[in-house]
Amino acid sequence: MHRSEEPGDPERDAPPPLPGELDRAELQHVEDGAGPLFHRRYSVAIRDTPLSPEELMSQVSGDPDRVAPKELASFQKVHGPHGAMHVNDEYVVRMPAPWDGPVRVVAVTPTSFRLVTLASHLEAGQIEFRAERDGALLRFTIESWARNGDRFAELLYARLRMAKEVQLHVWTSLLERVVALAGGRLTGGIEIRTRRVEVDDG
């Protein structure tokens, strides 16, 4: 596991814009959160996989729960048709209490999907899952732009570090399951890059 953290930039590290067709009800934007903005990338390079980025992402987006580390998290679809993922579908990420996180699908492409947090989530922001070619390798990345959902969440994350450690284990474990699903081998370990942007709430 390779981890790094550096100061970020408010413009460079801002989350992507939301599409016009997105249902805006109960969204929990970055601006609604507390504490610093964390722009993170968790990524793995996979070799010797028979799958293309499109084939891998089709399996992940069709049922995100198949790569979820069940002891830590479970993806449950609560709005939208079974199977393929569409904009405005909703999921709840079930985690050890009080971590349950409602999210809505923001964007879907053949090689990616992006989610936005909803009211009562411990975070405020967006997260994207994507697969792409990296030379002869297949790279899978989880990229997030998020602040803590409120001051209580900030205490758990920044002061007690409980939420931070749970989050780290969830995403690294999910990446390991993606590698297994791809039928390939992990190359170079798991990379975790963090850019921290201080936010003035005054």
71 in any annotated domain: yes
Rounded to two decimals, the pTM is 0.91
pLDDT given at position 153: 52
92 in any annotated domain: yes
Q: How far apart are CA 194 and CA 145, in angstroms?
A: 10
Where in the sequence is the domain holding 157, given as residue range(s)? 2-8+24-197
Q: Please write the tens of the pLDDT for every residue from 41-88.
A: 999 999 999 999 999 999 999 999 999 998 888 999 999 998 889 999
106 in any annotated domain: yes
52 in any annotated domain: yes
pLDDT given at position 122: 83
108 in any annotated domain: yes
Q: How far apart are CA 6 and CA 79, in angstroms?
A: 37
Q: Please write the tens of the pLDDT for every residue from 28-37.
A: 999 998 889 9
34 in any annotated domain: yes
3-state SS, residue 20: coil
Q: How far apart are CA 193 and CA 5, in angstroms?
A: 6
| The total number of structural domains that make up the chain | 1
14 in any annotated domain: no
Q: Which of 132-136, 186-190, 196-200 has the lowest mean pLDDT?
A: 196-200
18 in any annotated domain: no
CATH number for 45: 3.30.530.20
For the chain, what percent of residues have pLDDT higher than 70?
88
